[in-house]
C-alpha cells in the first residue's frame, strides 16, 4: 500500500513540475470592457457580462477564444486572444532537458508553453448616430 501511495505521489509531482506551469500558472485572467453603456460581452457566444467582465481562461484554450461585444442596432466587434511563447518554459531544460517538462507537460497536457499577449481588451460597438439614421450624411462625407 505504501508503494502505491509513494508511486502516486511521485507521479503527481512529476506531472505538475514544469517550469511554466509552476511560475506562470496554467490559466490567464482576461479583462474585457466596453465604453458604450449597455453593451453585452460574450466569450465564444456565451454572455459573460454587461459593460465589463473578467474571465479565467485555460492557457490551452488561448488563441481559440473569441470575445464579442453586442448592442442592439450596432455593429458587433470581435477579437481573439493573441498568444506568445512563455519563456519560463525553457527552464525545463534544466530539469530533464525539456523532454517531459516542456514537450509533455507544458506543451501537451496544460498548454503553459504559451501566454496571452494582452490581458485587457476594449470592444466598442459602432452605433449609428441620430443624423445617420435619418439619412443625413456625416460632416466631411460626400
Q: Into how many domains does the chain fold?
A: 1
Whether 135 is covered by a domain: the verdict is no
pLDDT in tens, 91-101: 777 777 877 77
The residue segments making up the domain with residue 112 are 2-125
Distances (CA, A) of 84 to 5, 48, 109, 133: 38, 25, 18, 42
pLDDT in tens, 1-49: 777 666 655 555 555 556 666 677 788 999 999 999 999 999 999 999 9
Whether 118 is covered by a domain: the verdict is yes
Closest CA to 83 of 104, 102, 61, 106: 61
Which value, to the nearest 10 degrees, does the dihedral of the CA atoms of residues 15, 64, 56, 123 take? 160
Q: What is the rounded CA–CA span in Å between residue 89 and residue 68?
A: 31
pLDDT in tens, 70-128: 999 999 999 999 998 888 777 777 777 877 777 787 777 877 788 889 999 999 999 88
Alpha helix ranges (H) inside 1-142: 2-15, 19-23, 92-96, 130-133
Whether 131 is covered by a domain: the verdict is no
Amino acid at each position: 500500500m505504501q508503494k502505491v501511495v509513494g508511486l502516486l505521489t511521485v507521479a503527481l509531482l512529476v506531472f505538475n513540475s514544469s517550469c511554466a506551469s509552476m511560475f506562470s500558472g496554467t490559466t490567464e485572467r482576461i479583462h474585457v470592457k466596453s465604453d458604450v453603456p449597455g453593451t453585452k460581452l460574450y466569450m465564444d457566444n456565451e454572455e459573460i457580462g454587461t459593460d465589463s467582465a473578467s474571465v479565467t481562461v485555460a492557457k490551452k484554450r488561448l488563441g481559440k477564444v473569441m470575445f464579442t461585444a453586442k448592442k442592439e442596432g450596432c455593429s458587433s466587434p470581435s477579437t481573439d486572444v493573441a498568444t506568445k511563447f512563455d519563456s519560463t518554459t525553457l527552464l525545463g531544460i534544466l530539469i530533464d532537458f525539456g523532454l517531459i517538462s516542456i514537450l509533455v507537460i507544458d506543451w501537451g497536457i496544460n498548454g503553459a508553453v504559451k501566454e496571452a499577449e494582452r490581458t485587457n481588451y476594449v470592444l466598442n460597438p459602432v452605433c449609428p448616430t441620430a443624423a445617420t439614421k435619418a439619412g443625413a450624411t456625416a460632416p466631411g462625407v460626400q
